[in-house]
């Protein structure tokens, strides 16, 4: 019989998220999950996009100097995300090592069990090895993405980058990962050299870690889970979706406009198109205008999150077509940031037009909301292919932001029989997901395994 843990067994876990919204949210959710299982929590974090410690009084926060300000002025124009993460992987080494070594040297009875670091902070493996501390990776993407990244031939990627729509290879499948087309890879790797270097470093240090935590659940990615241990020969823990363990959390870096909830209350069930492209993606002025035309022409209510700075060259809404807001009246709401989980859970929300970030995808599945996918970069094209072709719970805008394609996609999801079938499939997935979180379910079991594993260090 299992011996119950006593208070004296409680130990500290140190977590280190990458300083972006889509990485901070799941890391803090994971921290809450582990805290509820008796671990004390310290979050080491960069100064850039610092989480708000007052929302988490039960955690200890330790900021480190990231020197991000030295390159921050390039952010609005440089769309090369990998460049920033590579920069952080260099600028954070010394302050992170000093902070971690200082904590390990602190006198006291409490032992540090392990470091859980975002996979993107690959430099932390060498630091943890030096300090003889086990490092578990928190990977904020799907298992499918892990397998796809590992399979990609980075040498060919550099050649593909120069292909255009007119080239015959543009639409072809990628031999090493046939679900993806070459045009998806071009989208994923805006800057193939730095993306290739970054992914190679990240994957190597994931394989050198003591284990990987994925924010997914077994029943969603059953076949990927079967093959993951061949590619990543360390234990994998699939205990997602993290955000379902607790009520909607508050790690937003931008203030949420909660007035949208009372606006949603006034809309008919499943009538509203919710549009949001996440916290990092950027779109051009003409893409932004195509979104507006599509929403205008389709005639349905919509809630559109336009994050300040998302439109390249605009502060906020300057690029909207003339008189757009007046014409839409109360049919449409545009806000800077929404309480997304609650919006997706609202009965009025009928579909989610998303950039296919992994958190957004999981949140949509949890609330049974079918998707229209406009992936921009990174893992988003992989998620979008899974949504549209594997799980068949949404459609992908193959030709990007173009108002005729947009209207057709909205019609397919919101009005056609096809949309009904998507709803049935997504409800089925949601049922499986709920079961996975119950005692004895796959995610719940995986969490138990993780707790036992960490306790064994
Ligand atoms: N989000 C939010 N309000 C918004 C838009 C997004 O709270 O108006 C949250 C969303 O719920 C998700 C995260 O921001 O948890 C975005 O993560 P995702 O992986 O989807 O995309 P990323 O921002 O990393 O590209």
Per cent of the chain over pLDDT 70 is 95
Band (pLDDT 50/70/90 cuts) for residue 10 is low
pLDDT for res 3: 43
Q: What is the greatest pairwise CA distance in the chain?
A: 70
Top pLDDT among 161 and 336 is at: 336
Stated pTM of the model: 0.96
Ligand 1 centroid – CA 337 distance (Å): 9
Rounded Cα gap, residues 343 and 263, in angstroms: 11
Domain 259-434 in CATH: superfamily? Glycogen Phosphorylase B; (3.40.50.2000)
| Per-residue model confidence as pLDDT tens digits over 143-186 | 999 999 999 987 777 788 788 888 888 999 999 999 999 999 88
- Kindly state if the Cβ of 374 falls inside 6 Å of ligand 1: no
5 — pLDDT class (breaks 50, 70, 90): very low
| Ligand 1 pocket member 124 (CB < 6 A) | no
Mean pLDDT throughout 220-230?
95
Considering only the top CATH level, what class is 9-249+438-455? alpha beta
- The minimum-distance atom of ligand 1 relative to the CA of 380 is 25
pLDDT at 9 over 80: no
If one counts every other C-beta atom within 10 angstroms of the C-beta of residue 122, the result is: 24
The string of pLDDT tens digits covering residues 257-299 is 999 999 999 999 999 999 999 999 999 999 999 999 999 999 9
Integer Cα distance of 439 and 273 in angstroms:
35
Confidence at residue 78, expressed as pLDDT on a 0 to 100 scale? 56
Residue to probe by mutation, ligand 1, list 249, 279, 306, 361, most atoms within 8 Å of CB = 279
What gap in Å lies between CA 4 and CA 2, rounded to an integer?
A: 6
The upper half-sphere exposure of residue 223, i.e. CA atoms within 13 Å in the direction of its Cβ, equals 3
CA distance 455 to 10: 9
Domain boundaries, the chain: 9-249+438-455, 259-434
Residue 86 has pLDDT above 60, yes or no: yes
Contact 297, 319 (CB under 8 A): no
pLDDT of residue 67: 83
- Mean per-residue pLDDT for 75-93? 78
Nearest ligand 1 atom to alpha carbon 360: 20
Q: Do 9-249+438-455 and 259-434 come out as alike in CATH topology?
A: yes
What is the total residue count of the chain?
A: 457
What's the pLDDT score for residue 157?
A: 77
Mean pLDDT of the chain: 93
What pLDDT was estimated at residue 243? 96
Atom of ligand 1 nearest to the CA of 335: 8
Which band of pLDDT confidence, cut at 50, 70 and 90, is reported for residue 244?
Answer: very high
- Over range 325-335, report the average pLDDT: 97
Ligand 1: does its nearest atom lie under 6 Å from the Cβ of 377?
no
Q: What is the pLDDT of residues 353-398, one digit of tens each?
A: 999 999 999 999 999 999 999 999 999 999 999 999 999 999 999 9
Q: Are residues 236 and 209 in contact, defined by beta-carbon separation less than 8 angstroms?
A: no
Mean pLDDT of 320-332: 97
Asked if the model's pLDDT at residue 1 lies above 50, the reply is no
């Amino acid at each position: 019989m299992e011996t119950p843990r006593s208070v004296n067994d409680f130990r500290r876990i140190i977590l280190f998220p990458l300083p972006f919204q889509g990485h901070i949210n799941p890391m803090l959710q994971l921290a809450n999950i582990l805290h509820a299982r008796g671990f004390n929590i310290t979050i080491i974090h960069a100064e850039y996009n610092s989480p708000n410690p007052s929302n988490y009084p039960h955690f200890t926060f330790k900021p480190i100097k990231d020197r991000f300000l030295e390159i921050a002025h390039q952010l609005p124009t440089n769309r090369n995300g990998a460049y920033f993460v590579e920069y952080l992987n260099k600028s954070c080494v010394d302050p992170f090592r000093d902070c971690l070594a200082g904590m390990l040297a602190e006198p006291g009875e409490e032992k540090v069990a392990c470091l859980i670091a975002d996979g993107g902070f690959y430099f932390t493996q060498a630091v943890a090895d030096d300090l003889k501390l086990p490092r578990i990776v928190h990977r904020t993407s799907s298992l499918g993405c892990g397998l796809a990244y590992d399979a990609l031939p980075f040498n060919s990627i550099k050649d593909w980058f120069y292909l255009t729509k007119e080239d015959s290879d543009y639409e072809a499948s990628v031999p090493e990962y046939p679900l993806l087309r070459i045009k998806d890879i071009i989208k994923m790797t805006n800057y193939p050299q730095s993306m290739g270097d970054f992914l190679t470093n990240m994957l190597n240090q994931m394989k050198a870690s003591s284990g990987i935590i994925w924010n997914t659940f077994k029943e969603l990615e059953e076949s990927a889970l079967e093959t993951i241990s061949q590619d990543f020969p360390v234990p994998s823990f699939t205990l997602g979706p993290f955000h379902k363990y607790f009520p909607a959390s508050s790690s937003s870096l931008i203030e949420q406009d909660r007035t949208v909830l009372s606006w949603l209350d006034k809309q008919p069930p499943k009538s509203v198109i919710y549009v949001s492209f996440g916290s990092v993606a950027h779109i051009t002025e003409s893409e932004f205008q195509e979104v507006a035309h599509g929403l205008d022409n389709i005639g349905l209510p919509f809630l559109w999150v336009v994050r300040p700075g998302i439109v390249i060259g605009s502060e906020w809404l300057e690029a909207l077509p003339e008189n757009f807001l007046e014409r839409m009246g109360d049919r449409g709401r545009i806000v800077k940031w929404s309480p997304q989980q609650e919006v997706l859970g609202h009965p009025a929300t009928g579909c989610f037009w998303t950039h296919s970030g992994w958190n957004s995808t999981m949140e949509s599945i949890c609330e049974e909301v079918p998707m229209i996918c406009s992936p921009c970069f990174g893992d988003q094209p992989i998620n979008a292919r899974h949504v549209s072709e594997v799980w068949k719970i949404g459609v992908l805008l193959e030709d990007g932001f173009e108002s005729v394609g947009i209207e057709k996609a909205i019609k397919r999801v919101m009005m056609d029989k096809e949309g009904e079938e998507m709803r049935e499939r997504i409800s089925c997935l949601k049922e499986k997901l709920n079961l996975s979180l119950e005692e004895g379910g796959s995610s719940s079991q995986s969490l138990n395994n993780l707790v036992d594993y960490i306790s064994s260090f």
